[in-house]
């Protein structure tokens, strides 16, 4: 447990260059402009997911650039410790970033609505607790699925060789996700479609499906990443 804590700290320090107050301020300005342009909480959430994925990618970039894969064994970390630690760190980072950005987007859209009423789509979205939890499930599933598909590629090929392949995967997933959300939003004007989607999102089948996908995705990602990373030399 102590070693995991130490490794998470190392990972956090590795991306520290991207988490300075200046970068965070710039990021929030960019987010504000994005939300202002799109007037949608959902687009803010999508940006949050992409940001988290970018930060995890950046972690691989910094560690490869500085040959830090050679540092981990010197610190007594086995390949398994590294893969396990990075999966946990990636997951925690993603959850934290998505939560913060979603909340910030919500506040920005709400503020926009107060200042410029009628501009945004927010009024049509019911932000009740059950709806928020459904979204959380859906978001988490999307985020972990990205991790599942990206992490093993990075562990196998390293950042430089994997970045072009790996960037396609989140793009596809985000497009599918955005398309799905667009469908839900579009269905708003067609009462029966929205009702059907809402009924599915409300059903236990959806929650069980999300959990099953999460567990399966996490296991597959971990096993593949470990297999690939164990066979690499640095």
Partner 1 sequence: MSSQSQSKALEIRSLRKSYEGFTLDNISFDVPNGYITGFIGPNGAGKTTTIKLLLDIAMADSGSVRVFGEEKSIYLNNQIGVVTDEPPFADFWSCDDLESVLSAFYDRWDKLAFDSHLKRFEIDRKKAIKELSRGMKVKLMIAVALSHDAKILVLDEPTSGLDPVARDEICTLLGDFICDEKHSVLFSTHITSDLEKIADYVVFILDGRLIFNGSKEELIENFVHIKGGRDELSVEQRALVIGIREHGTGFAGMASISDIEKLPNTAVYDPITLDEMIIYFNKELKNNA
Residues that bind partner 1 (CB under 8 A): 2-3, 5-6, 9-10, 13-14, 16-17, 62-63, 65-71, 73-78, 230-231, 233-234
- Shortest distance in whole angstroms from residue 48 CB to partner 1: 25
Quick one: 24 or 116, whose CB is closer to partner 1?
24
Q: How far apart are CA 45 and CA 106, in angstroms?
A: 9
Closest approach, Cβ 69 to partner 1, in A, equals 8
- Residue 31 CB, shortest distance to partner 1, in Å, is 24
Residue 72 Cβ, how far from partner 1 at the closest point, in Å? 9
d(CA 104, CA 59): 24
Closest to partner 1 by CB, 7 or 137: 7
Of the candidates 52, 64, 63, the one whose C-alpha atom is nearest the C-alpha of residue 14 is 63
Instruction: Look up tokens 């919500």; give the residue.
Output: 106
Residue number with CB closer to partner 1 (78 or 133): 78
- How far apart are the C-alpha atoms of 215 and 10, rounded to whole Å? 26
Residue closer to partner 1 by CB (options 159, 177) is 159
Residue found by looking up tokens 């398309």 in the block: 179
Q: How far apart are CA 109 and CA 122, in angstroms?
A: 7
């Amino acid at each position: 447990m102590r070693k995991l804590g130490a490794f998470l700290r190392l990972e956090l320090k590795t991306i520290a260059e991207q988490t300075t107050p200046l970068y965070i301020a710039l990021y929030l300005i960019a987010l504000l402009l994005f939300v202002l342009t799109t007037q949608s909480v959902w687009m803010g959430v999508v940006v949050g997911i992409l940001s988290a994925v970018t930060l995890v990618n950046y972690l691989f970039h910094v560690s490869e650039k500085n040959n830090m894969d050679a540092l981990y064994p010197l610190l007594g970390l086995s390949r398994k410790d590294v893969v396990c630690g990075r999966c946990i760190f990636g997951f925690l980072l993603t959850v934290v970033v998505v939560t913060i950005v979603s909340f910030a987007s919500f506040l920005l859209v709400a503020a926009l609505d107060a200042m410029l009423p009628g501009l945004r789509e927010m009024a049509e979205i019911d932000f009740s607790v059950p709806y928020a939890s459904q979204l959380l499930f859906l978001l988490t599933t999307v985020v972990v699925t990205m991790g599942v598909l990206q992490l093993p590629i990075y562990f196998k090929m390293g950042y430089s060789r994997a970045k072009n392949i790996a960037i396609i995967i989140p793009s596809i997933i985000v497009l599918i996700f955005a398309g799905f959300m667009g469908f839900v939003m579009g269905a708003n004007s067609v009462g029966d479609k929205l009702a059907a989607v809402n009924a599915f999102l409300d059903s236990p089948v959806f929650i069980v499906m999300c959990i099953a996908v999460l567990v399966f995705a996490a296991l597959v990602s971990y096993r593949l990443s470990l297999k690939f990373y164990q066979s690499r030399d640095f």
